[in-house]
Structure 1
Amino acid sequence: MSHSARAVMVLGTGSHVGKSLITAALCRIFARQGYRVAPFKAQNMSLNSAATPEGFEIGRAQALQAEAAGVPASVHMNPVLIKPSGDMTSQVIVHGKIWAQLSASDYHRRRVEELTPHIRESYEALAAQNDVIVLEGAGSPAEINLKDRDVVNMRMAKLAGAACILAGDVDRGGVFASLLGTMELLDPSEREQIAGFVINKFRGDLSLLTPGIEMMEARIGKRCLGVLPWMHDLSLDEEDSVGLAKVQHRAVWQSGNGSPDRPLRVAIVALPTFSNFTDFDSLRSEPSIEVHFCRSVEACREADLLILPGSKQTMDDFAWMQKQGLDAFVKDYAKTGLVIGICGGMQILGESIHDPDAVERNGSMQTLGLLPIATTMQIVKTTTPTNGTVIASNLFGAPTDSQSISGYEIHVGRTDYLNTAIPFAEIVRAGDDRPHLDGCVSKNSRVFGTYLHGIFDADTFRHNLLRAARKATGLNDPVAVTNWRSLRSAAMDRLADTVENHLDMNSIFNLAGLTYEARPAAGSPR
């Protein structure tokens, strides 16, 4: 492979051991040292995605890593994205656009031959523009049943000439067995690419871990590059729904007292193909909001605000709601409660969904009828960052005052307004100066929907919506609110600082053939 950038790769002993956040931290550390750096993950499986400035779809984790590196997200950072549609099929996104709908067996059969050229093209594009690429693996590199067709772990490490760091999660237990087992299942040439290992999510007395580390170094012949402590309340994007907060099936509200200062109770319906759950991280950061992800009528019953989130398979998810009795509950709840629909959730709030081309499932279905809109599924997907202004006169009974909004669209549906429909906002999509209408608000302003993911991340809009929701529920204004963007930036710096302080950065930079300059301690002169 012809390229100019150096490469370091973060592999894991399994899923959710911390690869994504370690990769993000390394991107920020390389950037702080003055190097041009970009993240790269050849193939990602996730329902949590983002739209790049060019209007392409990539994994949300790679968008976070780009943010950590201080560069715009690019489709080349995640050339292949797999979005599960069910137990046996997935939508495959290549270079940001729908490539195919494949069964698991078809995908594994085709992916090496057909996808490697696309992956190589993207890596070359990034490598030509950067000093260093931080690659992320997927799952484990030692899945022996899939290894001959694995394009994201050791095959990618070889293509990039990357020195690999193997991360294990001690919090789960069995970290040494996981590290040893992974190394044992790699081929000898693959073991040579592993430069060292990292133990993640440690809490306790490090002296108790040290004997195991020394035995592991001797056993596998690789150095421990450091032990990362458990980091609380980072509020940074998780890779997929494995990072979703616990889903509730029963009412578990902690804010059940009658005080008007209690937190606003927000229930988010955790649909089976719930997509972009990070839409709600900013809400969860607010001290005057209590958020739960719910899958039953009982768990939603005492909520002040009900949210229907994005969905990968909207029609299937609405059919699931019908089986749970949630359709009837939401219609009844909307008579007195507050309801928001995001993307697929907004489609469900409408009158009907039609799918003539079987994009999701052939046919039509009547939906909740809480908003006068109808959706038709289309083969071409809309993926674009979006800015706009709320044009509805009020939300939840409070005036909007032409509030600015921003976010990104990722959807296959075209939604049409029916008689008496009140649009939510006027928006402008990236690369298109023409204004478009988005979303819908009910006549009583207690129900609204929008296609915009990430709409709650803008502090002013979120705070105004929070105040309106609390007032409509009979609660006082919040005593304190969160500056989400500052909180997120601080969390990235805290993550990077922790990794920098606990890993052997000289060795890691040497792996990339670069020089590391130790940062002065906080408060010290440079």
Structure 2
Amino acid sequence: MKGIMLQGTSSDVGKSLIAALFCRLLVQDGIKTVPFKSQNMSNNSYVTADGLEIGRAQGVQAEAARVEASVWMNPILLKPQNDRDAEVVLFGKRVDSFSGMAYRSDFYKTAKKAIETSLNTLEESFEAIVIEGAGSPVEMNLLDRELVNMTVAEMADVPVLLVSDIERGGVFASISGTLSLLPEKDRSRVKGIIINKFRGDKALFDDGVKWIEEHTGLPVVGVLPKLSHHGIEQEDSLGVKALKAGRGDPSKALKIAVINLPYISNFTDIEVLVDEEDVSLQWVRRPEELTAQPDLLIIPGTKSVIHSLKQLKQNGWQKALKQLHKDGVWIMGICGGFQLMGKELIDPHGVDSGIAHSRENAFNLIPTKTIFEQNKTVIRRIGVILPLEKQPVVRVSGYEIHLGKTLMDPSFSSRALIVFENGEKDGIWAPEHRVIGTYLHDIFREKEARNYLLNEIRVSKGLNSSMGEDPKEDVYDDLVEKLKPHLDWEKIREIMGLPL
């Protein structure tokens, strides 16, 4: 199978986005293409059609390649739970939690075999593979057992393009340093360089391109411009924007604040709100960071709910949430945030906290308690938002990924937010109490559902309703249109061994 691997001089250089770009370019060229990342460390997950869990970046890249996402595209997903431990998801299913040292010593052979199996499986069905690396290929303390960069390039026998982010500075040193630290057998696999996130007149960097090519002996096959609003989801929490100012008249803006949790998961739930015309969006860690009283405060998902609860309490949120809610602020919890809104968290097996029989009082904004179970719920969902009086039925779709089961006080049992196709109900929808809770990720993704929920808040705050913005017809074709002119695509195809 022909292919290419994108490796970076560091994390967050744009490999995920460029991999999606390459997937769509190859598909446009009529080549059946598949994305791949051997091991992803992210709390941003994607649920496959068969109810399995992979890194969200590979799900997005599968969309770009116009293929159904599968576990073979990302056999290993590591989901950080604290500074030492991560949940290991193998072929879409939770295995256990490991410390970094235990993972390297106890799981290495299993992980490598899983990567080999995945590559062999994909080769049976696809003509080309676009592989995304992780971090830097020259993390010298990890090279003896690395499973994400040159080891994978060798296993797949594909050439490598090195991606560097010019926006952060030091692009010449990062490229030269990375290449100089690579062992010769790995250095010889690097066939080209891509400069990413360039701002301004590209002609001003012509001398830079010349220097790189002369000093490395490698062609620069792309100088890609910085795209601020490409509409494609970010891979991990490095993509969380610290502050997004609303557009239009600030006095009419719907002010939304989002608590930036320490182990935030699936923050892409919030990304879609960035482009709402009248929305002012702010990420905060502590109550005192709020620049104004919000109309809506969102508590997003988190991989470690009890740990997040304890930190939120330390940061003063217990008192602040009660006061904000008393002052008329709407509170919404998504997945782990929904669990945090309840009365109590119970962890009999230690699957969330790491300590069996843990119990913690939560924020008591809604009459629920959550019990963490050993079996994880991973499922795609389609349903409707349960209408208020004389309101239309609104379709909603998304996915669930969680360990806990939330039990509702019978007095609130009729206040569910969503009913799914199979008749199951989810969440809480109580406008008179200004609370919304749900396990459904991507709840804002569809325009009608987003308008329905946000307009309820807008009207309650004396703001005008909004029709929202229609999404671009195809963000990946739009990406190609914007970035292909800045690539030497013929040279890249030649490096991949594909006929011109």
Establish whether TM, by shorter chain, passes 0.5.
yes
Cα distance 1:254–1:209, how it changes in 2: closer, same or farther (>3 A)?
A: closer
> Corresponding residue for 2:440?
452
Tell me the equivalent position of 2:206: 210
Alignment partner of 2:276: what SS? Answer: coil
Q: Secondary structure at the match of 2:424?
A: strand
CA distance in 2, matches of 1:213, 1:24: 24
Q: Which runs of 4+ in 1 moved over 3 A?
A: 252-257
Deviation of residue 466 (structure 1)? 2.0
Percent same amino acid among aligned pairs? 37
Amino acid at match of 2:484: E
CA distance in 2: counterparts of 1:184 and 1:267, whole angstroms: 45
Given the alignment of the two structures, is residue 338 of structure 1 paired with residue 325 of structure 2, yes or no? no
Q: Which residue of 2 aligns with 1:25?
A: 21
Whether 2:35 is the aligned partner of 1:39: answer yes
Residue among 103, 123, 145 paired with 2:141: 145
Does the 8 A contact of 2:246 with 2:253 survive in 1?
no
1:473 maps onto 2:461 in alignment = yes
Q: Write the mapping of 1:87-166 to structure 2, written as runs, cut at 5 A.
A: 87-166=83-162
Within 2, Cα distance between the matches of 1:168 and 1:408?
34
How far does residue 410 in structure 1 lie from its aligned partner after superposition?
Answer: 0.6
Superposition CA RMSD, Å: 1.9
User: Paired residues, what number?
Assistant: 493
Residues 369/443 of structure 1: CA separation in 2 closer, same or farther (3 Å cut): farther
Task: Report the AA paired with residue 482 of structure 1.
Answer: E
Q: Separation in 2 of the partners of 1:253 and 1:58?
A: 33
Match of 2:242 in 1: 246
Alpha-carbon distance in 1 for matches of 2:78, 2:110:
15
Q: Distance in 2 between matches of 1:271 and 1:226?
A: 36
SS at match of 2:62: helix
Q: Unmatched 5+ residue regions in structure 1?
A: 429-433, 517-526
Match of 2:59 among 59, 63, 66: 63
In structure 2, how many angstroms separate the alpha carbons of the residues matched to 1:348 and 1:276? 16
* Residue pair 2:373, 2:405 contacting (<8 A) in 1 also: yes
- Counterpart amino acid of 1:82? L
2:404 maps to 413
- Distance change in 2, residues 1:302/1:19 (3 Å): same
C-alpha separation in 2, matches of 1:504 and 1:311:
41
Task: Tell me, yes or no, if structure 1 residue 292 matches structure 2 residue 282.
Answer: yes
Paired with 2:41 and 2:15, the residues of 1 have a C-alpha distance of 14
1:282 aligns with 2:264: no
Distance 2:235 2:449 in 1: 26
For residues 289 and 14 of structure 1, do their structure 2 counterparts lie closer, same or farther at Cα, with a shift above 3 Å needed?
same
Q: Within 5 Å, which residues of 2 pair with 1:190-269?
A: 190-246=186-242, 259=251, 262-269=252-259
Letter in 1 for 2:373: Q
Aligned to 1:509: 493
- Residue among 483, 500, 519 paired with 2:470: 483
TM-score w.r.t. length of structure 1: 0.90
Indicate how the Cα distance of structure 1 residues 264 and 307 shifts in structure 2: closer, same or farther if over 3 A, else same. Answer: same
Equivalent residues of 1:390, 1:400 under 8 A apart: no
What is the DSSP-based 3-state SS (H/G/I as helix, E as strand, rest coil) of the residue aligned with 1:376?
Answer: strand
Q: Please report the TM-score for the alignment, with normalisation by the length of structure 2.
A: 0.94
SS at 1:198's partner residue? strand
Contact 2:246 2:278 in 1 (8 A): no
Cα pair distance change 1:247/1:320, threshold 3 Å: farther
Shift of 1:483: 1.3
- Alpha-carbon contact 1:371-1:442 (below 8 Å) kept: no
Residue 87 of structure 1: SS of its match in structure 2?
coil
What's the secondary structure of 1:39's corresponding residue? strand
Per-residue deviation, 1:514: 2.1
| Residues 1:399 and 1:302: Cα distance change in structure 2 (over 3 Å) | farther
CA deviation profile, 1:77-120 (whole Å, cap 9, x unmatched)? 11111111111111111111112211111122234322111111
